[in-house]
Chains A and B, each alone.
Chain A
Amino acid sequence: MLGLSRKDTSFLLIVIFLTLATPLLLQPFPEDSALAQFNAGYPDLMQRFAIFGIFAIGFNILFGLTGYLSFGHAAFLGVGSYSAVWMFKLLTMNVIPALILAVIVSGLFALLIGYVSLRRSGIYFSILTLAFAQMMFALAYSVLTPITGGETGLQLSLNDPRILGVSQTPEGNIPVPHLFGLEMRDSVQWAVGGWEFTFNAGYYFCAVIAILVFYLSMRIFRSPFGMMLRAVKTNQTRMNYTGLNPRPYTLAAFVISGMYAGLAGGLMAAMDPLAGAERMQWTASGEVVLMTILGGAGTLMGPVLGAGFIKYFENIFSKINDNVLHAWFAFLPDGLEDVVVAIIHPFVGKGWHLTLGILFMLVVIFLPGGLVEGYRRLTRAFRRTPRPDPRRDPEHHPGPVPHVGE
C-alpha cells in the first residue's frame, strides 16, 4: 500500500494509530490519583511531541542517513517560525499559507548554508553549520530587530494589516491561528469515570502533518535516493570512484531536513503565534541532536521516540517538587522519609537536567543505538528461538573482500 512493503505498511498503520490515540494513551491515570502528574495528555505538551518529532525526523534524514552532524539546525526552526508569524501579520491567520512560506524560506536558507557548509566534512562541517546558526541567532537578536523583534520576539499586534483576514476581531482581540475557521486552540473535553481526555484541534493538525512527513521520510529511507545517502555515510571515496558525485545527494538531504525544521518552526508559530531568537541558539540545535541519538539515529522511529522522551522528561520531571516527594514517601518512617526525599531532590524539579545528563550518558555508553536498539535487545532476549541477525547473513552481506595488490 502507498508504495510500501507489507511490513512497512503495518508499521505505518501502527504509528498512525499511536499518533491519533495519543490523547488517550498519554492519560493513563485518573485525575485524582497520586500518579496524575505523570499524565502527559494535555494539548500543549502533545503539540510539542508532534512538532519536535517532525524536527527530529528531518534531522535524522541528514544525520542518520548521511552521517553529517549539523550543529545549526535550530536556525531553520527559527526561520520557519519568523516566516510563519510574518504571514500571520501580513496575509491571514490561516495556518496553511504560513506553513508553506515557512517551508519555502527555511528551504532557501538551507540551500544557501548547505551549499557552503557541505564543502567540508567531519567536524569542520559541524563547526560551519554551528557558525552560521550562531551568526543568524546573534543578528536576529541585534541588527535585524525590525524583522525579528529582537529580544522581545516577534509578536502579533492589533495594527497588523492581514490583507485576507481581519486586523482585529469584533471584540477587539488579536485573531487566533485557524485552519479554514477551525481554531487551533479548540478542544473537546471528554470525561470518563475518573479520567479526563482532551482532544485538541491544534494537536490533531500537528499529528496529521507529522504522519504525512513520517510517511515521506519512510519513502526516502526506502528509496534509491535514501540508498545513495547511506552510501555517502558508508564510504564517500568509493562512491566517488563509482562515478557518482555525493554532493548533490547530500545537499538535497540537507535542504530536505532544513525544510522539515522550518515546518516544525512554522507549526510552533501556528500553535502559539510568536517567534523568538532563542529558538535558534546552539543549545536548541544540540537538543535535536540529543533527541535523535537518544532515540536511535538512522532508524525511522528513533528520533520521534527521543523527541517524545526528552519533552516528556522536561515537562513532567521538572514539576516534581519536595511536597510531591513527601507525599509519595509518606509511608516511610519520618527520619527515613526525609533522607529519601533529600537524596531524590537534586534529580527532580529544577534539577531535571541532571537526570537528563545522566540518562543521556548511560544511553551513549551502554546503548549506542539509542532506545530503538534497547527495544531490539529486549525483544531478542525474550524471543525463544533467536532469529538469525540479518547482518550476519553471508548471502546478503558478504564479509570484506581482501584488496588485490595490498
Chain B
Amino acid sequence: MASMADMGGGAAIGRRLINVGIGLAVFVGVWMLLRLIGVSSSGIVLQVLNGLEKGSAYALIALGLTLIFGTLGVVNFAHGALFMLGAFVAVTFNGLVGLSYEEVDPTRTDFLGNPAVIQTPYVEAWFGEAAGQWMIDWSVPLSILIAVPFMALVGLVMERGLIKYFYKRPHADQILVTFGLAIVLQEIVKAIYGANPIPTPAPDAFQGSFDFGVWLGFDANTILYPYWRLVYFLFAAVIIAGVFAFLRYTTFGMVVRAGMADRETVGLLGINIDRRFTIMFAIAAVVAGLAGVMYAPILSPNYHMGMDFLVLSFVVVVVGGMGSLAGAVAAGLILGILQSFASMTEVLELVPGINQIIIYLVAIIILLTRPRGLMGRKGVMEE
C-alpha cells in the first residue's frame, strides 16, 4: 500500500534537498538552452506562466487520482468524467441564472415598429437589478457553492454504489469498470447538453490581461497574461494547499495517512477507516469537480473534455509516482510548463512536432530512468 512518507519524515530530507537541487539545475539548464536558441527571457517567463495554468489543471486532477489510489487502492478511470461534471455544473448554473421571462413593453418599440419584448432574468426580478446582474456576471465562481455539495454527493454515491465492491478486484477490473462508468457519465451529459462545446464566460472583472512584463521589470506588453488564468492558478494553489494542510494538520487527516500506510492496523485500533476513505473519495471528487468548474471559462466544456484530460492526468500521476501526492502536483506543473515551452515557435523550428509529443517523451524518459516515477515508492502497482 502506498505510504505518504514524502509529506514528512526527517530521514528523507537530505535526499529531497538533492532532488530539489537536481530539479533546479534542470530548470536553469532548460532556460539557458532556450536563451541559446534565441528565445527572449520574457518569452520564457510567459511560457512558464502559460504552463502553470494548464499544469495546475493536470495537478488538480492528478492529485485526486493519486489520493483515491493511495487510500482505496483503486485506479479510477472515471476521474476525468468528474472533472467534466464539474465544468457542466458551471454550465448549468450559468444557464439557470440566465433564465428570463418575457414582458411586452407597450411604451417602447423595437426596430421593426412592433412593441418591444423585454427579457428580464428571474434573478434580477427576485434580488433586484444590481444583485441579479452581479449573479449572472459571477456565475462561474458562484457555481462553486453548488459544485461542492453536488460533487461530494456524486463521489459518495459512486464510492458506496460501485467502487466499494472493487477493493479486492484486480486493477485491470477497476480500470475497466470505471472506464465503463466514464463512458456512461459522458454519454448522459451528451444526451442532455448535446455534443457542441458550450461557452461559459468568466466575470467581466477578469476579462482583460495582466501585464506581468511591467511588474517583473521587462518591457510593457511583453508578458500579457489573462486574469482568469491567474485566478485559476491561484485557486489551484489554494485547493492543493488546503488538501495538504487537511491531511497534515487535522486529526482526520492524520488517521487517513495512517490508514494509507497500514490500513489493517488502523482498523484494528477500532477506527472505521473505510468511512474515512469514502470521505476522502468524496473530497477527491470535489477537487476534480472544482478544477472543472474553474476551467469552464478557459475551455468551453464539451462532453469528452474529461477523457482528454484523463489520459494526460494518468501520465502525470505515473510520472509523479503512483500514490505520491507531492509527486502528482510537481509532475503536473512540470509537464504543463514543458508542454508550453515545446509550443514556442523557436523550439518548433528546431524540432518540428515536439509540442505534440513532449509529455509522452518525458514520461518515457522518466519511467525508464526512475522506475517508480519522480516520487513513487517501491512495490506500488507492479504486480
Contact = CB atoms under 8 A, between A and B. Distances in A.
Contact of B381 (A124, A143, A358): A124
Instruction: Name the residue in B314, B367, B368, B381 with the highest tally of chain A Cβ atoms < 10 Å from its Cβ.
Output: B367
A345 to B, nearest CB: 9
Contacts of B172: 69, 293
Interface in A87-143: 116, 119-124, 127-128, 130-132, 134-135, 138-139, 141-143
Given A357-B181, A357-B187, A360-B183, A127 B356 contact: no
Interface string B345-370: 00000001100110011011001100
B29 interface: no
B168 to A, nearest CB: 12
Dominant SS at the B interface? Answer: helix
A120 B382 CA distance: 8
B264 to A, nearest CB: 18
A368 B363 contact: no
Contacts of A131: 315, 360-361, 363-364
A364 B176 contact: yes
Contact of A132 (B169, B173, B364): B364
Given A127-B367, A143-B353, A121 B382 contact: yes
Contacts of A128: 363-364, 367
A356 interface: yes
B2 interface: no
Nearest to B179: A286
B187 A143 contact: no
Contacts of B165: 365
Interface string A349-386: 00101101110110011001000000000000000000
A290 B307 CA distance: 16
B351 to A, nearest CB: 9
B173 A364 contact: yes
B322 interface: yes
Contact of B363 (A122, A127, A356): A127
B171 interface: yes
B364 A356 contact: no
Contact of B180 (A123, A346, A360): A360
B253 interface: no
A286 B314 CA distance: 14
A135 B173 contact: no
Given A143-B353, A364-B173, A120 B371 contact: yes
A122 B364 contact: no
Interface residues of B, number: 42
Contact of B314 (A127, A143, A289, A360): A127
Nearest to A119: B368
Contacts of A127: 314-315, 318, 363, 367
A313 interface: no
A282 interface: yes
Interface in B172-195: 172-173, 175-177, 179-184, 187-188, 190-191
B357 A357 contact: no
B37 interface: no
B181 A124 contact: no
Contacts of A346: 191
Interface residues of A, number: 39
Dominant SS at the A interface? Answer: helix
A124 B183 contact: no
B367 A123 contact: no
B383 interface: yes
A135 B169 CA distance: 31
B318 A135 contact: no
A132 B360 contact: yes
A368 B169 contact: yes
B311 A143 contact: no
A351 B322 contact: no
Given A143-B352, A143-B353, A361 B177 contact: yes
B96 to A, nearest CB: 22
A65 to B, nearest CB: 14
B64 to A, nearest CB: 17
B75 interface: yes
Nearest to B322: A123
Given A116-B368, A120-B371, A351 B187 contact: yes
B188 A354 contact: yes
B316 to A, nearest CB: 10
Nearest to A358: B184
A132 B107 CA distance: 68
B210 to A, nearest CB: 32
Contacts of B356: 135, 138-139, 141-143
Contacts of A282: 311
Contacts of A293: 172, 176
Interface string A59-72: 00000000001000
Interface in A277-293: 282-283, 286, 289-290, 293
B66 to A, nearest CB: 12
Interface in B153-180: 162, 165, 169, 171-173, 175-177, 179-180
A135 B188 CA distance: 31
A353 B171 contact: no
Closest 10 CB pairs of A and B: A357-B183, A143-B353, A138-B356, A131-B360, A361-B180, A354-B187, A357-B184, A360-B180, A122-B382, A135-B357
15 contacts: A122-B382, A128-B364, A130-B360, A131-B360, A131-B364, A132-B364, A135-B361, A138-B353, A139-B357, A290-B176, A290-B179, A293-B176, A354-B184, A357-B180, A368-B169
Given A353-B187, A354-B183, A354-B184, 19 more contacts: A122-B171, A123-B381, A124-B382, A127-B314, A127-B318, A128-B363, A132-B364, A138-B360, A144-B353, A283-B307, A293-B172, A293-B176, A360-B180, A361-B181, A364-B177, A364-B180, A365-B165, A365-B177, A368-B173
Interface of A: 69, 116, 119-124, 127-128, 130-132, 134-135, 138-139, 141-144, 282-283, 286, 289-290, 293, 346, 351, 353-354, 356-358, 360-361, 364-365, 368
Interface of B: 75, 162, 165, 169, 171-173, 175-177, 179-184, 187-188, 190-191, 307, 311, 314-315, 318, 322, 352-353, 356-357, 360-361, 363-364, 367-368, 371-373, 381-383
